[in-house]
Amino acid sequence: MTGQEKEKNFEKSQGRIKKLEMKRVRWKKQSMHAVSKAVPYTFVTEKQKRLAEMRERMVEQTSLMNVEEMLTDFNWKESGNAAALEKRLLGELQALEAANVHAIIESDERVTTVVGHIERALEELESMENWLLLYAAELNSMGDDIHQIEWQNRGLQVQTANQRSLVTELQELLASVRVSDGVLQTLRNTPMDNVQDIERVQNAAADLQRVLKVKLGDGLQTMKAVQERVEEYNMYSNTFTARVHEHLRQSIDSQTGILYETRSRSAPMTTRKNNYVIIPAYDSLEDSLFKYQGLALWMKEMDPRRYNELQMMYAQGLTRTCKRDIKEVMDSTRTYFANVRNRSMDELDFLFRADDSRPVRALGYSSGLRSEESRANRYRNMLRGSVEGVIGSGSSNRDSIDEDERMASDAFSHMMGQVVSLVVREQNFLRDLFQLSHDAPKTFQERGPVLSVAPEKDTLYLRRDKIKDVKTSKRVLDLLDAIFDGLQAELLGFVEYGNKADPTQGLSMLVAMDTQCESCEGSDQEFAITMLDFLRDRLEKMFEKFIEQQLRAIEETKITSKKRSGILPFIRVFPLFAVRLEAAGVGAEPNSKVRALINSAYERVVNGMVSSLDAIARESDAGGDDKEQLNAHIMTIENMHHFYHELRAHKIAVLDRWVKHAKNQYETSLNSYIKVVIRRPLGRLLEFFEGVETMMKTSTAEEVSFHMNFNKAQLRKVIALYPAKEIKKSLEQLYKRVDKHFSEEEGLLQVVWRGIQEEFIRQHEKMEDLIRQCYPDANVSLEFTIQDLLAMMSELARKVNV
């Protein structure tokens, strides 16, 4: 039965009920009317009324006339009791009335008729009542019917409403698990090459995904219809995923291919200033792939395995281009190192050598240093300043060595900058494209708009914050490993190559690494950081090894020359070594590891030199019969003087401690030398007076002359050994000897001779003083006066300096 039919029925029944109701009401009215007619009622016409009135008036008149008579009848006097009278009157009146009514009824025949009528009316009423009872019963049964009908009707209404909502529910359910054919069509066929199409495809995919993701409650999911539909759509989804995968695969493949072709064909880009090769940004690749960011997200969500495959494919696709571009930079950098490598290690005058056969370079001091000059320039100038010290030819050669070193280290630092920038950019783009970060959209539904080009490309060179998620960061590292496969080994090869040419290049390289490390510190660039740390570690080890070799060379230095004097080769080399290290490490921060490395190298090398110098000096004296140890002093004097002045000139602050040490050593040795050398001309005199001095420590001055060894006779004897003539001769001999001891190169003869003259005078004064103290009455004095001595010195000066 349809709803409408039901409704009709319902309406019909309603109508019926109404009719019945109306009937009932009519019946009631009729019966009521009948009842009211049947009630006995005095019927008075107008005529009768008027007659009655007239009668009343007449009665009244008669009554008034008869009152007096009546009153007399009742024996009523005016002074009598009114109340009693009234009571008597009322009683009279009632009796009269009762008699009257009785008379009327008994006397009138019409009453019998009326009673007869009334009896008939009563009979009528009785029959009428029976009818009414019948009707009432009838109505009651009908009421029950109506009640049932009404109840049934309500049930019907609920049923209808339920059915209606069921229909809606079902319609909604069906709608929620349904996508339009247009959507499916789009997913199947719309190309994915431009932004609009991709946007359409993505929207369609989003629709499909929404359907697949719909959560139906209360076991609806298990509804067969729903399951069938979901299954169908899953199929569509899988097909679409496969299609996206294939499309992305092809795009990545072709774009990385195009990039490689383009890069291989194009001429290297170079900086305008130094002509260094630059690795360009891979803009076109980035732009052409970035529009697939949303689809990549689809893959991430729908097929993580193939999504990972795509990433790896992308990484591997880039490998050859990166390798090629890095090689280009490396090759161009290598040319700078070729110059460094082309010369032999022997040409590197800043290196220590055990067997130094190189021509000795006299070192000049650099001049014209200005504080406003940059540190780097200063050290370079110093090197050049030292170059000016090269005697004869070869200074231009020296110049070019410095320049070569500088160019090589600058080129290397540029290369590291390029490589690290490339790594940084590739990682940043990879993370953007494949949305590998914690704040990236988690689902395809949250995807951003499709962009025709990669956005904010400037920021791709910036270092980003660390990836908090361990899994993601591991994934990124894996991909970077794939892109830059073998890079670390190649850089290591390069570093070794450069170090082989010149071990001090390692320092410049370390500085370059430090600079790059610093730029990556604390960022997400784990690949770069790990690689740089590795290279840094290797470089530090290489440098350590180099310093050890240098120390060995210093230790093994042999003095080939028979003449055991002059500046030792390593003392000569050290300033150059220091200046070279400073130049190589010029970019190092004061607190950096590189700086510490350099400082510790100085420390070790200087210590090595000092102990080698001592050993050589001792050795040179041990061989001969000279017990004066003069050679040791001479070597220390000249070498420390040289060392002191050279380092003073180069102003390397960290070496200050050693500069002071050298100066002390120089001064101490100079004093010792003078004290020793003066014994040749004055030996026994000095011995005698030294004895006197010792005596004076235990005895008084007067007692000394009583000692057997120091009596006046002994004094005279010893003084007689040194007449002025003898002194003059031995002074000349001493001058010749000292002149032979000291090299022309250090120019110390005048300094030493001045010290000797001073010591002569000092000793003379001391001896005269002791004579005055200990032998006051002996009337003896040295056979030469200070004036004699000064005259001898002046004469000698004229004689030896012609």
Partner 1 sequence: MPKKAKQNLPLHKVIMVGSGGVGKSALTLQYMYGDFVEEYDPTKADSYRKKVVLDGQECQIDILDTAGQEEYAAIRDNYYRSGEGFLCVFSVCEHESFEHTQEFRDQIGRVLDDETVPFILVGNKVDLEHLRRVSSNEASALASEWNCPYVETSAKTRQNVEQVYTQLMRKIRERKETLQRAEAKSKKGKCLIL
List 6, 323, 648, 675, residue binding partner 1 (CB under 8 A): 648
> Phi-psi region for residue 453, left (φ > 0), alpha (ψ -120 to 50) or beta?
beta
Q: Does 219 bind partner 1 (CB under 8 A)?
A: no
Token reading at 95: 């009796």
Asked if 438 interacts with partner 1 (CB under 8 A), we say no
Taking CB under 8 A as the binding criterion, the range among 117-125, 385-393, 504-512, 541-549 that sits at the site for partner 1 is 385-393
DSSP letter assigned to residue 523? B
Please tell me whether residue 310 binds partner 1 under the rule CB under 8 A. no
Residue 214: other Cβ atoms inside 10 A:
14
616 vs 614: CA distance, rounded Å: 6
Residues 425 and 654: their CA atoms lie apart, in Å, by 39
Q: Which one of 66, 264, 750, 785 is in contact with partner 1 (CB under 8 A)?
A: 750
Question: Minimum distance between the CB of residue 360 and partner 1, rounded to whole angstroms?
Answer: 4
DSSP 173-235: HHHHT---HHHHHHHHH---SSHHHHHHHHHHHHHHHHHHHPPPTTTGGG-HHHHHHHHHHHH
Question: Which structure tokens are listed for 180?
Answer: 């339009």
Q: How far is the CB of 781 from partner 1 (least distance, A)?
A: 18
372 is a site residue for partner 1 (CB under 8 A): no
Tell me which residue has tokens 């012609």.
Answer: 802
391 binds partner 1 (CB under 8 A): yes
Using the minimum distance from each CB to partner 1, give the nearer residue, 114 or 786. 786
Count of residues in contact with partner 1, rule CB under 8 A = 44
The residue from 398, 564, 580, 645 that contacts partner 1 (CB under 8 A) is: 645
Q: Which C-beta is closer to partner 1: that of 322 or that of 731?
A: 731
Residue 381 or 413 having the CB closest to partner 1? 381
Interaction of residue 755 with partner 1, rule CB under 8 A = yes
Tell me: does residue 370 bind partner 1 (CB under 8 A): yes
Under the criterion CB under 8 A, does residue 744 sit at the interface with partner 1?
A: yes
CA nearest neighbour of 236 among 201, 266, 269:
201
Nearer to partner 1, 214 or 796 (CB): 796
Q: Does residue number 265 form part of the binding site for partner 1 (CB under 8 A)?
A: no
Q: Is 791 in the site for partner 1 (CB under 8 A)?
A: yes
Residues 6+ apart with CB under 8 A from 472: 436, 437, 438
Residue 530 neighbours by CB under 8 Å, 6+ apart: 477
Question: In terms of Cα–Cα distance, which of 352, 358, 363 is closest to 605?
Answer: 352
* Structure token pair of residue 148: 């049932």
Smallest gap from Cβ 790 to partner 1, in A, equals 4
Selected binder of partner 1 within 745, 773, 778, 783 (CB under 8 A): 745
Tokens representing 60 are 């009244």
Specify burial of residue 579 (Cβ count, 10 A radius: 0-12, 13-18, 19+).
buried
Q: Taking CB under 8 A as the rule, does residue 704 contact partner 1? A: no
User: What token pair was written down for 571?
Assistant: 């003392």
Decide whether 319 or 743 has the Cβ nearer to partner 1: 743
In the set 746, 767, 771, 782, which binds partner 1 (CB under 8 A)?
A: 746
Answer yes or no whether residue 347 interacts with partner 1 by CB under 8 A: no
In whole angstroms, how close is the CB of 651 to partner 1 at the nearest point? 7
- With beta carbons less than 8 A apart as the criterion, state whether 387 and 350 touch: no
Helices of type H across 39-81: 46-73
Stretch that binds partner 1, among 402-410, 478-486, 514-522, 646-654 (CB under 8 A): 646-654
Q: What stretches of 651-700 show up as alpha helix (H) in DSSP? A: 656-677, 679-698
Stretch of 19-27, 222-230, 643-651, 712-720 contacting partner 1, by CB under 8 A: 643-651
Binder among 155, 217, 219, 368 for partner 1 (CB under 8 A): 368
First CA to last CA distance, the chain: 151
Q: Is 562 in the site for partner 1 (CB under 8 A)?
A: no
Task: Find the part of the chain contacting partner 1 (CB under 8 A) among 29-37, 78-86, 195-203, 784-792.
Answer: 784-792
Does residue 365 interact with partner 1 by CB under 8 A?
Answer: yes
364: contact with partner 1 by CB under 8 A: yes
Q: Which is nearer to partner 1, 348 or 738 (CB)?
A: 738
Q: How far are the Cα atoms of 426, 429, 528, 559 from residue 522, in angstroms, in the given order?
A: 18, 19, 12, 53
Tell which one of 109, 392, 590, 708 touches partner 1 (CB under 8 A): 392
Per-residue binding string, partner 1, 650-679, x by CB under 8 A, is -x----------------------------
Does 724 bind partner 1 (CB under 8 A)? Our answer is no
Going by the DSSP 8-state scheme, the letter that residue 270 receives in this structure is E
- The CB-of-516 to partner 1 minimum distance in angstroms stands at 35
Q: CA 294, CA 440: separation in Å to the nearest integer?
A: 11
Q: Is 143 in the site for partner 1 (CB under 8 A)?
A: no
- According to the binding rule CB under 8 A, does residue 758 interact with partner 1? yes
Compute the residue count for the chain.
Answer: 802
- Catalogue the E-assigned strands of 516-675: none
In Å, what is the CA distance from 63 to each residue of 70, 87, 231?
9, 19, 121
Least distance between partner 1 and beta carbon 475 (Å): 58
75, exposed or middle or buried, with CB in 10 Å at 0-12, 13-18, 19+? exposed
Give the binding range for partner 1 (CB under 8 A) out of 546-554, 682-690, 696-704, 744-752.
744-752
Of the candidate spans 117-125, 357-365, 412-420, 512-520, the one that interacts with partner 1 by CB under 8 A turns out to be: 357-365
Q: Does 754 bind partner 1 (CB under 8 A)?
A: yes
Q: What is the CA radius of gyration of the chain?
A: 68
Note whether 376 binds partner 1 by CB under 8 A: no
State the Cα–Cα distance between residues 575 and 379, nearest whole angstrom: 11
Binding span for partner 1 by CB under 8 A among 294-302, 383-391, 397-405, 624-632 = 383-391
Residue whose CB is less far from partner 1, 30 or 750: 750
**Near partner 1 by CB under 8 A: residue from 143, 389, 441, 455:** 389
Q: What is the DSSP letter of 75?
A: T
307 in Cβ contact with 300 (< 8 Å): yes
Using rule CB under 8 A, residue 790 touches partner 1: yes
Q: Least separation, in Å, of the C-beta of 489 and partner 1? A: 45
At its nearest, how many Å lie between partner 1 and the CB of residue 398?
12
Q: Which residues neighbour 685 within 8 Å (Cβ) at sequence distance 6 or greater?
A: 718, 719, 721, 722, 767, 782
Among 362, 596, 713, 721, binds partner 1 (CB under 8 A): 362
Residue (405 or 646) nearer to partner 1, CB:
646
What is the spatial distance between Cα 171 and Cα 208, in angstroms, rounded to a whole number?
Answer: 18
Which of 649, 715, 738, 782 touches partner 1 (CB under 8 A)? 649
User: Any contact of residue 85 with partner 1 (CB under 8 A)?
Assistant: no
Among residue numbers 602 through 641, which ones bind partner 1 (CB under 8 A)?
Answer: 641
The count of C-alpha atoms lying within 13 angstroms of the C-alpha of 190, restricted to the half-sphere facing its C-beta, is 19
Nearer to partner 1, 336 or 666 (CB): 666
Stretch that binds partner 1, among 396-404, 475-483, 494-502, 745-753 (CB under 8 A): 745-753
Token output for 304: 């993580």
Round to whole Å and give the CA distance between 306 and 187: 19
Selected range binding partner 1 among 108-116, 484-492, 586-594, 645-653, rule: CB under 8 A: 645-653
Q: Strand locations in 530-686, DSSP E?
A: none
Q: Which residues contact 469 (CB under 8 A, 6 or more apart)?
A: 438
Instruction: Identify which of 495, 496, 506 has the alpha carbon closest to the alpha carbon of residue 585.
Output: 506
Secondary structure class of 125 (helix, strand, coil): helix
Write out the residues near partner 1 by the rule CB under 8 A. 359-365, 367-370, 388-389, 391-392, 641, 645, 648-649, 651, 744-751, 753-755, 757-758, 761, 786, 790-791, 793-794, 796-798, 800-801
